[in-house]
Structure 1
Amino acid sequence: MVGRFWDWLSGKTPLVDAFFAAPVLFLALPSMLGQGVGMGAAKYGLLTFLLLGPLVLRRTYPRTVFAVVSIVSCVQCVLNIVPVPGNIAILMGLYTVTADFAFRWGLAAALVGELGAVMATWRYVSGAQDAKFTFVMFTAVVAGTWILGLHMRTRRAYLRSVEERAARLERERDVEVQVAMAAERARIARELHDVVAHNVSVIVVQADGASFAIETDVQRARKALEAISQTGRQALTEMRRLLGVLREDGSVEAYAPQPGVTQLDDLVEQVRSSGLPVTFEVDGTPAAMSEGRQLTVFRIVQEALTNTLKHGGMRVVADVRLRYGQDAVEVRVVDDGRGAAAADDGRGHGLVGMRERAAVYGGSVRAAPRPGGGFEVVARIPMREDA
């Protein structure tokens, strides 16, 4: 409610300016209703209106309002009309011009204000000692108002630069995340290509060998083997074509076997040797999974333990648990490190990579600080396509 009120009020600039001018009007109200100081109440009210009325548009037309108020005050001085509370409008106009416009406009407004101080001292003060004191006081007020306007102008410029920098950093972060996601997809494409291409290549070789090895005249078996060979070749060609679109470049990389769940013991032992105590448990009966899914499980555990090493802090302990369900495997990596208090520069993309990998097989990853301290990564990977 309060936020909506301020949003509505920020669009009503004349109303806000009138609110800030109201105290000066109330200060002059007793003299307007009674007898003006050295003048009639009507003249006093007219002068006050000419000085305070333009302030309603102070932030809408700052330079015009300051010029009008300055001219009215100049005529007032020339006609030897005593100062009134409404003359404070000069200072309000000076502040607005200095805060809203370039330095040269603020300096020009300050010089006009200083000229008014000279004229007011010359017209209304008699005696050298009193004149000197009054002039110094007027000059100090004008200078103080000008400096306040400069300070506000500098502060606004700084806040604008901070907002622009924050917006730019947010855009750059989004771009970095997108680039990281694209790079991760390319890496996943290469790894999946290694796994799938190897299996399909074995099918092709076996089918070709069976096709040439058959010495009988079992035509149906031969045609079936030939169909396997043809289908395998087509699948391999299509897989290479689709995954080639995701590659960062057109280079052909050597195939290499990828790690799976059986290599998790080696990974845990490697992390232990680096100084991080890790416990590793497996619940349930390990089920057959495709090599791509095993690779996803391995990479998620690897990334989670890497984050624990980087952000967990001293004396942190990690626990890795694999739980095989009926149709999915759950990976849970928990540590008792810093958790939400860990420093984050916003440039890491490991969690993005985890989610991208799990999403390939319809899985999900939840990574968040634990309420009691530490960090927790929970991933669920379906073991079959229908799951």
Structure 2
Amino acid sequence: MKKYFIYWTLLLLPIFTFAQKQTQEGNSVVTPLIPTSKLSLLKDVDVVFNTRMAFDNYFVDGNHTNSLFSVNQFRFEVKGKIHDKVSFRFRNRYTKIADPSTVDNISRSVDMAYVAIDIAPQTKLTIGKMIGDWGGYELLTNPIEILSYNTINDKGDNFLVGAALSYALNDHKNKFNLQLLNSRTKTFQEQFGTTVPPGITTTKIPLAAVGNWKGSFFDGKLETTYSYSYFIDAENTNRNFISLGNKYKSNKLVLYYDFQYSKEDLDQKGVVSNIIKSKYPYAAQDVFYIENWIRAEYQIRAKVNLLLTLMNDNSYWNGNPDISKENHLLASYGIIPTIEYSPFTDFNMKFYVGYVAKKYNYSAYAENNFNAIDGTIGQLSFGIIAPLLVL
């Protein structure tokens, strides 16, 4: 027995010694991964996983085509203040192809990557990649809340690199924002390729100027975001964009209405160009788009919310060389009824059922000259929406 005791003592002595050494070292002061002096910054920083996942069912002209589970939206976001007068925001979309851009040197999957500096009590300077402030609440709404976009926001470059200067009046009910941005994320050749019309050449200053006014009236019940934007797309080839966004809040009802008008010397959205491509190999010139977007939200119970979105877009081609032309080529309509259930009162997560229905009505001229065919598409979704705030 004594022999075994000596044996086990010799065997376990190094382990006890090592454990004692580790315990002694554990009692010493260890430098944390994040210095204590920096921990105070975290209280002003948010880390968010903007998420929408669903079981989607797709329909074309009333016929079911397929069903599958999808991560519709997953945008990682970090934002906050890193100094009393300096803040930042970064958001990357992982449900978009991360193709690099040859214009602004940042992937198109990055929505925002900017720094904002308070240069005066009511004046802010923002530099980096940001959302184009051309107004409209459809674009300003968190993308995880939008099941489908109207044409202009769906087809446009909405996140661009540049600089912005914003100023708020003393009453904070009126805010003005001026932006100077790149007019696109791709080079002119990458965007149009062989479809560039004869006589159209690239410009040395592909920039966009945006002026925006945000107002608040009647104790915040009515809010507006109006803007005018001017884009230089090519030499002597420009784009004019007007957007009028309106928001009304009353008790349990929130109502939005956006009106948008885009006049384009060279078709940037590509809708008209796609209609006429069977006869004209070049991108359409002198086009314009007019659209309306309405969204109503009504809380029928503490945890139940009803939503209805209506949208309409009209596509016109003024540059048609046909003397018997009809300018109006396409009218599209959309309706999105949705019901949301929020099971937690202290956590922003919603289960939803929504149906996206869109109808495309081509003019008789488009049907007869470009073989355009009317059609409908639908999407029935069962899923969850959650801006997961993890920090």
TM range (shorter): under 0.3
Q: Which has the higher contact order (CA 8 A, sep 6+)?
A: 2
Normalising to structure 2: TM-score of the pair?
A: 0.19
Normalising to structure 1: TM-score of the pair?
A: 0.19
- The structure where strand makes up a greater share of residues is 2
